[in-house]
Amino acid sequence: MSLYLNIIQIIVSITLTVIILIQVKGEGAGSFLSGGASVARTRRGLERTLFNVTIVLSTLFLLISFLSALFGV
């Protein structure tokens, strides 16, 4: 059981890292340097989908981490 949890956790963490890097790359240097707080905008299309996938993967990663700790990995 712990082997499967470890493999799933590695896959989720790599996927989460890639999704986050895609989001940061799409923001541009201007919002990175200014903090992005100057202009409020809504997420649309692919950006919204990536944001939602990030939330789901983060929750899944947290759940798998708790299960790994529970089963004594």
Helix (H, G, I), strand (E, B) or coil at 2: helix
Per residue in 7-33, pLDDT (tens digit) is 999 999 999 999 999 988 766 554 555
Residue type present at position 59: T
pLDDT band at residue 60 under the 50/70/90 scheme: very high
Task: Note whether 16 and 58 are within 8 A (CB).
Answer: yes
- Contact status, residue 73 vs residue 2, Cβ threshold 8 Å: yes
Average pLDDT value over all residues in the chain: 82
Please identify which residue in the block is written with the tokens 């299309």.
45
Model-level pTM? 0.72
Looking from the CA of 12 toward its CB, the CA atoms found within 13 Å total 19
pLDDT score of 34 = 54
pLDDT surpasses 60 at 52: yes
